[in-house]
C-alpha cells in the first residue's frame, strides 16, 4: 500500500494518558476468558471490532504525560493518519454534506470515552456517544501475531471498518438497529451481525476507491499488488466462528455478533468490487 505522510489533523493523541483499573490488568488470557464467557452466556462481553464499549473496572483517568514512543511507532502513526484522512476524504466525496469528519483517538492500555471505559484488549472501537474511533496501536501486533493477518492494508481495513460504523451513525442506521434490538431482543444477534457486516462492506467501498490507479501521484493512498488479499485475510481472521474456535470452544452461530469469517469476507469483497454504498444493504430492506 502506497501512502504519503502528512499532517495528523484527524488524530487525537492520548497515548500519554492512562485509565486506572481496579483489580489489575487484563491480558490476552483475560481477553480469551471474556470471549469464552460471552459465548457461554450469550452476552457480548467483549467485542474485537465495533459496537458500544461497556463500562469496565476502571474508575478514573490519569493526567496526560509526554508520549514515549519509537521511530517504528511514529511511522505507524503517520500511516494511520494518512489512511484516516484518505478514508474520510472518500466519504466526503460519496456523501457530500451528510458526512461529518470523525477523529481517531490513539491510546495505550485503557481509555475513557463517552461510551465508558475500555481497554486495549477490547480492540479498536467506534463510540457513537462522541462519534470518535479509538485504537491502541499495539492491537496491530496482535492482529498479525495471534490472528495471522499482517500487512498495512489489513491495518487500514480495521480503520475503514470503524469509520464504516461512523457512517452508519451519521445515516441513522446504528440508532435504528439499537432500537430494533430493544423491541426484538430475540433478533439482537442477527441485527448485530448485519450491522457489522455492513461496516465491512463500507470498508470495502473505501478500498475500491483506494485501488484506483494514479492515486499515489496525488498524495492519496493507493493499493498495490497483494493488498486486497491482505484485507480479505484480515476479514477472515476475526470471524466469530474462528474466534470461538480459538477460545477453545465450539461454534455457536446463534451467538454470533460480527458474522462468520465467510460472511465478513463476502461483504468486504462486495464493497471492494462494487464501490457503491447501495451494495452494502446487509439488512435486505433498502436500508442504504
- The confidence score (pLDDT) of residue 122 equals 79
Distance (Å, whole) CA 101 – CA 189: 29
Provide the residue ranges of all domains of the chain, joining segments of one domain with +.
Answer: 11-280
Average pLDDT over residues 238-254: 80
- The confidence score (pLDDT) of residue 2 equals 97
Whole-angstrom CA distances from 10 to 54, 132, 139, 179 are: 25, 10, 19, 30
* Predicted confidence (pLDDT) per residue in 113-129, tens digit: 999 998 888 789 999 99
Residue tagged 475500555 (cell numbers) = 118
- The confidence score (pLDDT) of residue 253 equals 80
- The confidence score (pLDDT) of residue 87 equals 98
* pLDDT band per the 50, 70, 90 thresholds, residue 37: very low
- The confidence score (pLDDT) of residue 21 equals 46
Average pLDDT over residues 127-149: 93
* Predicted confidence (pLDDT) per residue in 206-226, tens digit: 999 999 999 999 999 999 999
| Res. 230: pLDDT tops 70 | yes
* pLDDT band per the 50, 70, 90 thresholds, residue 40: very low
- The confidence score (pLDDT) of residue 89 equals 98
* Predicted confidence (pLDDT) per residue in 256-279, tens digit: 788 999 999 999 999 999 999 999
Average pLDDT over residues 238-262: 82
Amino acid at each position: 500500500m502506497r501512502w504519503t505522510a502528512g499532517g495528523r489533523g484527524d488524530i487525537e493523541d492520548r497515548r500519554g494518558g492512562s485509565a486506572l483499573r481496579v483489580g489489575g490488568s487484563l491480558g490476552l488470557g483475560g481477553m480469551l476468558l471474556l470471549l469464552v464467557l460471552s459465548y457461554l452466556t450469550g452476552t457480548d462481553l467483549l467485542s474485537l471490532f465495533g459496537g458500544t464499549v461497556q463500562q469496565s473496572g476502571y474508575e478514573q483517568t490519569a493526567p496526560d504525560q509526554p508520549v514515549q514512543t519509537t521511530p517504528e511507532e511514529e511511522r505507524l502513526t503517520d500511516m494511520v493518519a494518512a489512511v484516516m484522512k484518505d478514508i474520510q476524504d472518500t466519504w466526503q466525496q460519496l456523501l457530500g454534506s451528510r458526512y461529518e469528519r470523525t477523529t481517531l483517538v490513539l491510546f495505550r492500555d485503557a481509555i475513557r470515552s463517552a461510551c465508558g471505559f475500555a481497554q486495549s484488549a477490547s480492540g479498536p472501537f467506534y463510540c457513537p456517544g462522541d462519534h470518535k474511533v479509538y485504537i491502541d496501536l499495539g492491537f496491530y501486533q496482535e492482529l498479525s501475531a495471534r490472528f495471522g493477518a499482517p500487512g498495512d492494508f489489513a491495518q487500514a481495513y480495521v480503520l475503514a471498518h470503524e469509520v464504516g460504523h461512523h457512517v452508519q451513525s451519521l445515516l441513522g442506521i446504528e440508532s435504528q438497529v439499537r432500537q430494533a434490538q430493544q423491541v426484538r431482543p430475540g433478533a439482537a444477534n442477527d441485527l448485530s451481525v448485519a450491522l457489522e457486516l455492513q461496516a465491512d462492506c463500507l470498508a470495502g467501498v473505501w478500498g475500491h476507491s483506494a485501488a484506483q490507479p494514479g492515486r499515489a501521484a496525488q498524495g492519496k493512498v493507493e493499493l498495490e499488488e497483494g493488498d486486497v488479499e491482505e484485507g480479505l485475510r484480515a476479514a477472515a481472521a476475526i470471524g466469530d466462528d474462528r474466534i470461538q474456535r480459538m477460545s477453545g470452544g465450539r461454534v455457536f452461530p446463534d451467538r454470533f455478533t460480527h458474522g462468520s469469517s465467510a460472511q465478513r469476507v463476502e461483504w468486504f469483497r462486495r464493497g471492494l468490487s462494487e464501490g457503491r454504498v447501495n451494495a452494502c444493504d446487509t439488512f435486505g430492506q433498502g436500508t442504504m
